[in-house]
Amino acid sequence: MSEAIEVKVPDIGDYKNVPVIEVLVKPGDIVELEQSLITLESDKATIDVPSPATGIVKILKVNVGDMVSEGALIVILESTDSEPHKSDTVSRLAQKRLDLPTAPMAAPKIQMAQEHYTSHASPSVRKFARELGIEIEHVPGTRSKGRIAREDVTAYVKDMMHKQRGVSVSSTTISNDTELDLLPWPKIDFAKFGPVQSKSLSRIKKISGANLHRNWVRIPHVTNNDEADITDLETFRVQLNRENEKTGIKVTILAFVIRAVVAALKKLPTFNASLDGDNLIFKQYLNIGFAADTPNGLIVPVLKNAEKKGVFDIAKETAELAKLAREGKLNADQIQGGSISISSLGGIGGTHFTPIINAPEVAILGLSRSTYKPVWNGNQFVPRLMLPLSLSYDHRVIDGAEAARFNAYLSEILADFRRVTV
């Protein structure tokens, strides 16, 4: 027997009034189980809402540009499935399809919209266009499926200005709110040099790439490099894992570093702040983001209330979050609200690097591979296990002395972990 199934917007975290950027079906279409019906887009993620059953689309309740929230009716299906409809299927599958950026951002600023839009652009981009007096429909989008980014609006304005002076500016030459006077991006037929293969970027890399580009251009990055002696800490870590092997929890150096970073944020609260215009917002929470490597790119889950957790709790929760990231099952709340981020390349290699700050955070800590080095102890050189630290910071908020103090204090804690409770 057929039955009518109401498909509604699932739990999408704290997001409200999220724009529909794609409608992938129409009345009369036959859809399969888990087939995507519509795509939603916040400032931080795109979410495909899949079908909870095989059936026929009888009534379509949304259009491109509509603003929807959890519980909003999307589609009415006529289903012939013999299996009963499970109300949590959509929520579970939507989380599976969640695409996230490599870096944690501020909570989305989604504006209420009362009119119907045909152009694909987030509410913040529409607001930016309105502030410049630009009709968003006139702006060509350069992102996936013609989506309009903030850079496209800026490029459109610059292009109009330059055309008045007889100069055309390509959208690829503008990447900020100010004139960069860059040469056009080179157009090359790579195939004339030999065989090539074209492969589309993953959705995660498309979204994160735009954010990283913005952060690199708009934040004055400076990186402070230092080293921490973790010889004794590594011995302690190995001992802990040996003693607690039956628990199945493996404590990593990252867990100790997260706990040490919490202590450093308490001592130097400027690193737990964000710029808001001419104001500096000091956060009273201690949430630590960490980069997780996934098949589709880096994702940064956020460990909440890290100051309330010991290293075993941190190790357990970071492992769980990393697993969800690899499986594409993180929800929106699990990638928001970070105080500072940590990018660890220790398992791969390298000595130092310059991690890009995740706006609106003001700093990010990079960890490279620890190696044994000869260190002078006052009498002789002895082998010590040294962990490279690369702290990138926003020079508008943090000066070089503060950054040096942060790394120095972090090194003191990692060299003698008893200091973490002082």
Residues annotated as catalytic are 395
* Phi (first) and psi of residue 340, to 5 degrees: -155, 160
- Of the candidates 365, 360, 345, which has an alpha carbon nearest to the alpha carbon of residue 406? 365
* Phi (first) and psi of residue 304, to 5 degrees: -85, 145
Q: Where do we find the tokens 């699932």?
A: 10
Q: What's the rounded Cα separation, in Å, for the pair 392 and 155?
A: 29
What token pair was written down for 356? 């890009």
- Of the candidates 334, 250, 320, 329, which has an alpha carbon nearest to the alpha carbon of residue 288? 334
> Which three-class secondary structure string do you get for 98-112?
CECCCCCECCCCCCC
What token pair was written down for 348? 């791969």
**Beta-bridge mates of residue 390:** 225, 366
In angstroms, how far is CA 270 from the centroid of its own chain?
Answer: 22
CB atoms within 10 A of CB 146: 13
Are the C-beta atoms of 357 and 215 separated by less than 8 Å? yes
- Of the candidates 273, 230, 261, 235, which has an alpha carbon nearest to the alpha carbon of residue 343? 261
Q: What's the rounded Cα separation, in Å, for the pair 62 and 38?
A: 9
Instruction: Identify the H or E element spanning 237.
Output: helix 231-243
Ramachandran area for residue 204 (φ above 0: left; ψ -120 to 50: alpha; else beta): alpha
Q: What's the rounded Cα separation, in Å, for the pair 94 and 287?
A: 25
What token pair was written down for 132? 């410049």
Cis check: omega of the bond before 52, within 30 degrees of 0 = no
What token pair was written down for 177? 């709110």
